[in-house]
Amino acid sequence: MLPVKSPSPGAQHVSLYPTNVFVIDRFSPKQYLIRCGIRVRGLSSSSAKTIVGGGEILPNALYRRSYKSWRAGGFSLGVDLGASYTGLALGKGFCPRPLTVLNLRGKKLEMHLLKIAEMEEVDEFIIGLPKSHDGKETQQSNKVRSIAGRIAVQAAERGWRVYLQNEYGTSVEALDFMIERRLKRSVRQGRIDAYSALMLLERYFSTSGSEAELVLPKQLDLQEKLRRGSYQDNLEF
């Protein structure tokens, strides 16, 4: 991601708010989203204009880094989708913590994630995307993208966002983290997925969301709902 820098003396200010005429003239809507560090898959030009026309959909981590006085936004829910279990972690930029491990599949899992998000005042999901050591996506990546896409639709109906974050190495990091804290083997075996989700969240916050990929629902009305919600949050300083 390109960091948000203060303009040099005499230079024209490039605001984070995309209604700035200079930004719109200089960059296409999709280019602007990419410049902000947002990876958007399958975004049409008309969809990009819908988002950029009144407020971009940025990760909470980016707002917190760019605006120290920003107090809006809810919690971020880290989601590690495993073959057998799903680990969850919760954070708001400071000291994220492992939450729980779910033994659910399909629609039951997706509905339970939404229920937990509501209970924990979450407004964005950070879902781990499996990748190989060289950064390439795997067969499992397609499955995760499919699940993330379904969750994104239901989340958008509630005004929440879904992002994908590279999860390569988080399981090893989680195990090392637990061993360093001298957690018993039995505890490690039962909580490894939740701690993997914790590592995922820490990676997301440490990079200010620069590696996160926004998952947009195809429905334009839901995209508009997300844009309006993000724009209102921008005003709450």
- Domain housing 189: 61-228
Beta-strand pair 213-214/161-166: antiparallel
- Category of 147 on φ-ψ map: left (φ > 0), alpha (ψ -120 to 50) or beta: alpha
d(CA 59, CA 57): 7
pLDDT of residue 39: 54
pLDDT at res. 66: 75
For 127, the token pair is: 């879902």
Is residue 69 situated within a structural domain? yes
Domain assignment present for residue 16? The answer is no
Q: Is the pTM of this model over 0.85?
A: no
| Per-residue model confidence (pLDDT) at position 227 | 86
pLDDT tops 80 at residue 235:
no
Distance CA 62, CA 167 (A): 19
Q: Is 183 left (phi over 0), alpha (psi -120 to 50) or beta?
A: beta
Q: What is the pLDDT of residues 92-120, one digit of tens each?
A: 877 899 999 999 999 999 999 999 999 99
Helix (H) or strand (E) holding 230: helix 220-234
Identify whether 182 is part of a domain: yes
pLDDT in tens, 168-226: 999 999 999 999 999 898 888 889 999 999 999 999 999 999 999 999 999 999 999 88
CATH number at residue 138: 3.30.420.140
> Could you tell me if residue 101 is inside a domain?
yes
Residue 188 domain-assigned (yes or no): yes
Number of structural domains, the chain?
1
20, part of any domain:
no
**Is the per-residue pLDDT at 37 higher than 90?**
no
> Using CA of residue 60, residue 62, residue 67, residue 68, what is the dihedral sign?
positive
Helix extents (H) in 102-184: 106-119, 139-156, 170-180
